[in-house]
Structure 1
């Protein structure tokens, strides 16, 4: 595997010592960005990446639609994986979820994932409409993995594969709100939906093992510390999402890759294994990476390259079939 771009980052910038334009040029990737106006009247930031070398004679080999996790956005650290996938020959697209990154909305508030799913489908459908001849795949990290699964279930037969990387299939017992707060979370969400829930540990600290990457994540000008403790209404919705994933994973019937860290203390690895076991897919792969925590990109070089090689090889393998 060619080195993942995150290996050339530093604690102040995912682009290392380069400007964003120099970064894209170095990796021979064409980057575009714009805002879309959604059906629920908010503006969301979108991005695409594709190899510069592609032409009419050498079009993209497929579309990969990416969905970031709760404490992330489509740019910054997450973007380095989009560039890595684009370098494989794919047209990659991603969106800042409402209240995240450059998108409109109260910071970190997701009281319901239903409109978020609608927003993603709206943008991804626009991208695929211009590339109808290409196979299309969904890739989601953490909360994005659950949202990607829901999109597949909403759009049965329209996607050629699903990658769930550290997906939110269940919240780890080590990261749930402290007792008895979890029991009273529905009441808290109703009475004080904006109150920030104190969970067992800090989300960024628990997600990224390498210290310099935690610092890099916190330096993102659009994320900062607002996402490290979710509002009560959002915390309740995240728990509900996990319940729905467990209830509906039997309906998943498309090529599926579930990759999860054995040491994940945010999203429960056993729940991810159960999703894999119960999925109706006949073409499905499970990879539990020893020593890996919640965010694969937050690991050291060895584990990071091992995990992403599984993802990249899986995507390339689906194109060859």
Structure 2
């Protein structure tokens, strides 16, 4: 397992902490967009597998997440997170103009990746959405409470590999506290903006576990049906929970991603 290079990168709203895994001769670039409360370092296994397939993998920590500065998990405007991703992509594209770029967004990162792709679809060769928060999300029901309850994520809901949940709980860079009202309101506004935005006509792959309780596939589909374009593919995995990349069949999931990417970058 190769260690990534790690550095702070100036983006639209200040510095963002970025991890990069690089093969000797990359043939494509994967920009990995992590989910709520976690960080890019949790994608080291995904990065290792993608590097073996020729990918230069870049995984930033969103502002207020992981090693990036900012109040923990505070998102006052989701568009600012997307601004940072857009600035990072522009930097990567300038450094590696020969490499096709694929967005890979998980959970809330799938929402950010979708919004980024909507801004300028010509900049990306494809988008991979893993259990994306799109359409409706039951967590937003918490906004009906005067005071938000502390509802921690059940670690067993992440994967049938219970070691994934144990590592999640023990990770000091993961946020284990309550949701913040402004963050949930920002997510709600972003979902509406996506619904009102353009369809994704660039190649798009949707991955989802059929036993995902954190982001149920049927809720996501209400958003997918709004944005799906002409080059859309999906894979649903029986028995899989929220983090399909970290599931017991994670190798199959990566193979599906690689097959999708290879097909699209060869065109």
TM-score using structure 2 length: 0.90
| Alignment of 1:125 onto 2:83 | no
Return the alpha-carbon distance in structure 2 between the equivalents of residues 102 and 153 of structure 1. 27
| Alignment of 1:34 onto 2:7 | yes
SS in 2 for 1:111: coil
Shift of 1:107: 0.9
Contact 1:170 1:268 in 2 (8 A): no
**1:167/1:123 CA distance change after superposition, 3 Å:** same
SS in 2 for 1:182: helix
Report what 2:162 is aligned to: 211
Which is greater in Rg? 1
Q: Which runs of 5+ in 1 are unaligned?
A: 1-22, 25-29, 55-59, 189-194
**1:285/1:64 CA distance change after superposition, 3 Å:** same
Report what 1:27 is aligned to: none
Q: Which runs of 5+ in 2 are unaligned?
A: none
Report what 1:101 is aligned to: 66
Return the alpha-carbon distance in structure 2 between the equivalents of residues 286 and 37 of structure 1. 35
Return the alpha-carbon distance in structure 1 between the equivalents of residues 192 and 242 of structure 2. 19
SS in 2 for 1:251: coil
What does 1:177-216 align with in structure 2 at a 5 Å threshold?
177=141, 181-184=142-145, 188=146, 197-199=149-151, 202=153, 204-216=155-167
| Alignment of 1:65 onto 2:13 | no
What does 1:237-256 align with in structure 2 at a 5 Å threshold?
237-248=186-197, 250-256=198-204
| 4+ residue runs over 6 A deviation | none
The RMSD of aligned alpha carbons is 2.2
Alignment counterpart, residue 230 of structure 2, candidates 282, 294, 299 = 282
Shift of 1:142: 0.4
Aligned residues: 267
Shift of 1:224: 4.9
Report what 2:261 is aligned to: 315
Shift of 1:128: 1.0
Return the alpha-carbon distance in structure 2 between the equivalents of residues 247 and 235 of structure 1. 19
